[in-house]
Amino acid sequence: MAPPCGGILKAAMALSGAQTAGEMGPSSRGGSGSSAGKNPGARPVEKTFYIETFGCQMNAHDSEKVIGTLEHQGYRQVQSEMEANLILYNTCSIRDKAEQKVFHRLNDFKKYYAAGKRFAVLGCVAQQEGERIFERAPYVSIVSGSASYRKLPEMLRRLEAGERHITGLDDRQTEETFETEFTRRSNPHRGYITIIEGCDKFCAYCVVPYTRGKERSRTGSSVVGEARRMAASGYTEVQLLGQNVNSYRDPEGKLSFAELLGAIGELDGIRRVRFTTSHPRDFTRDIVEVIDRVETLCDHVHLPVQSGSSRMLQAMQREYTMESYLERIAWIKSARRPISITTDIIVGFPGETETDFGQTLDLLQRVQYDAVFAFKYSPRPNTPALAMPDSIDDEEKSRRLQRLLEKQREIQRTNYANHIGQVMEVAVEGFNTQRGQVIGRSSQNKTVNFSARQAIFPAPGSYLPVQITNSFPNSLVGEAVQ
């Protein structure tokens, strides 16, 4: 299963046709818009960009919007820093290592500033560090958080006009969402739709409320409209996104989150609807009911718990108890459909005792999750947890993480083995030509590697019934059914 956050997501996209336009870099300073046409003697320099994306699916989708916006401004995407004259890093600051990676990356490429390359830092590190990025890396030209992306065209014009340091740091005041008709989705079959941005929950350990602004939803009608347009252009799977997707509140007051799920699931052409991430506090029973009722809604809920100890949940300011979390798990498990449940866990939060940690292990045993994304607690700037006593040393955090992952591996070994003999619908995603296998995904979001009897592989984006013949803790193996 793909992790809900972390890691580098390289946007590999088909390139649009080359366009020539203004030049960036030292030679363009002072030019207004630096249109190559204004100086007949100068060779037009193509505007090219490279973008690298870190972090969660919301960042991945923001990059698709940024790419579309850049293309609309006459830029062409290239596949390496070396080919680009504008390098953008869309950053994540959820844990400290992700942030360090960004500065390392910038450091590797700063030597090319003199040759005309320009750098933009976008996303959560940009919002968190703000103008301090210019102090640490003066060769960076643009620092912009996600709440300011709608101003990107203007920022690019200022960059082309030779401005050295441009910021877009709209904070929690903004009411606007980043909607753009230029979104350049990287996959022609399944695509993201952000339905709610920001976060108002302020968990004690988390940077997101400071980096993504306050919670703001798109109207239900615009979300359904976008899904309908996607279906009309060949998309069969949509994934609704939000830091807390189920905290969605339609500004027009027409659709609840469950109703929105149902409305999208019932659109012609849509075969699968996913949504992530659900916050336990706002998880209502009608979500389970709509999954039971609308076949296209996938059999999967990602419901991060963070800890199995109510004491820790309170210290983390999660706004639910173990009891209420388990009530929601019971709703999901009582559904008619086999809804897969996955979660996120933080080990080593300040003050976590062996007893608290033991309760988290008990919770894994009780829920039998299909996947757990577990993280060592990482102290983050501005967060209340920074000031909390009883920090746990890194070795102990690592030990707890290992124990937890080992336990979860055994649970998954059994869960995945339970599918042997079943026939399930699999969405084809790609191939492993060396092994002669097709790679796909089940409704429960499990990876299925299978062989097809035909000489030709089925096309990505198609759906096939597959009989499961073998299993591993993280994937299933099968054969396409004739």
Binding residues for ligand SAH, per CB under 6 A? 5, 94-95, 205-206, 243-244, 277, 279, 304, 306, 344, 346, 375, 377-378, 380
Residue least distant from ligand F3S (Cβ): 55
Cis previous bond, 277, omega within 30: yes
CB of 5 or CB of 476, closer to ligand SAH: 5
d(CA 11, CA 380): 27
List the interface residues with ligand SF4, window 170-229 (CB under 6 A).
199, 201-203, 206, 208-209
Which sign does the torsion angle of CA 62, 68, 69, 75 carry? positive
d(CA 195, CA 212): 14
Q: Is 130 left (phi over 0), alpha (psi -120 to 50) or beta?
A: left
**How far from the centroid of its chain's Cα atoms is residue 292's Cα?**
26
Pick the binder of ligand F3S from 69, 77, 186, 211 (CB under 6 A).
Answer: 211
Pick the binder of ligand F3S from 24, 56, 120, 464 (CB under 6 A).
Answer: 56
List the interface residues with ligand F3S, window 68-97 (CB under 6 A).
92-94
Which of 175, 180, 126, 146 lies closest to 60, judged by CA? 146
> What secondary structure does DSSP assign to 202-261, as a single string?
--TT--HHHHS-S-EEPPHHHHHHHHHHHHHTT--EEEEE-TTGGG---TTS---HHHHH
Which of 253, 264, 250 lies closest to 193, judged by CA? 264
Contact 426, 461 (CB under 8 A): no
- The token duo for 78 is 């290239």
d(CA 100, CA 81): 19
Q: How far is the CB of 375 from ligand SAH (least distance, A)?
A: 4
Residue 258 in the binding site for ligand F3S (CB under 6 A): no
Residue 123 in the binding site for ligand F3S (CB under 6 A): yes
Q: How far is the CB of 279 from ligand SAH (least distance, A)?
A: 5
- The partner in contact with residue 95, picked from ligand F3S, ligand SAH, ligand SF4, none with C-beta cut-offs of 5 to 8 angstroms by kind, is ligand SAH
d(CA 119, CA 191): 28
**How far from the centroid of its chain's Cα atoms is residue 262's Cα?**
22
Q: How far is the CB of 5 from ligand F3S (least distance, A)?
A: 4
Q: Which residue has the tokens 């060769």?
A: 139
CB of 5 or CB of 273, closer to ligand F3S: 5
Q: How far is the CB of 298 from ligand SAH (least distance, A)?
A: 18
- The partner in contact with residue 58, picked from ligand SF4, ligand SAH, ligand F3S, none with C-beta cut-offs of 5 to 8 angstroms by kind, is ligand F3S
d(CA 290, CA 286): 6
Q: How far is the CB of 206 from ligand SAH (least distance, A)?
A: 4
CB of 218 or CB of 279, closer to ligand SAH: 279
- The partner in contact with residue 377, picked from ligand F3S, ligand SF4, ligand SAH, none with C-beta cut-offs of 5 to 8 angstroms by kind, is ligand SAH
Q: Which residues neighbour 393 within 8 Å (Cβ) at sequence distance 6 or greater?
A: none
d(CA 195, CA 282): 15
CB of 146 or CB of 437, closer to ligand SF4: 146
Residue 65 in the binding site for ligand F3S (CB under 6 A): no
Expressed in angstroms, the distance from the first to the final Cα of the chain is: 27
Pick the binder of ligand SF4 from 243, 276, 447, 471 (CB under 6 A).
Answer: 243
- The partner in contact with residue 202, picked from ligand SAH, ligand SF4, ligand F3S, none with C-beta cut-offs of 5 to 8 angstroms by kind, is ligand SF4
List the interface residues with ligand F3S, window 92-121 (CB under 6 A).
92-94
Segment near ligand F3S (CB under 6 A); pick from 53-61, 130-138, 221-229, 339-347? 53-61
Over its C-alpha atoms, the chain yields an Rg (Å, rounded) of 23
- The partner in contact with residue 209, picked from ligand SF4, ligand SAH, ligand F3S, none with C-beta cut-offs of 5 to 8 angstroms by kind, is ligand SF4
- The token duo for 304 is 């991060």
Q: How far is the CB of 430 from ligand SF4 (least distance, A)?
A: 31
Counted residue by residue, the chain has a size of: 482
Residue 95 in the binding site for ligand SF4 (CB under 6 A): no
Pick the binder of ligand F3S from 22, 25, 31, 55 (CB under 6 A).
Answer: 55
SS3 27: helix
- The partner in contact with residue 437, picked from ligand SF4, ligand SAH, ligand F3S, none with C-beta cut-offs of 5 to 8 angstroms by kind, is none
Which residues of the chain form contacts with ligand F3S (CB under 6 A)? 5, 55-56, 58-59, 92-94, 123-124, 207-208, 211-212
Which residues of the chain form contacts with ligand SF4 (CB under 6 A)? 199, 201-203, 206, 208-209, 243-244, 279
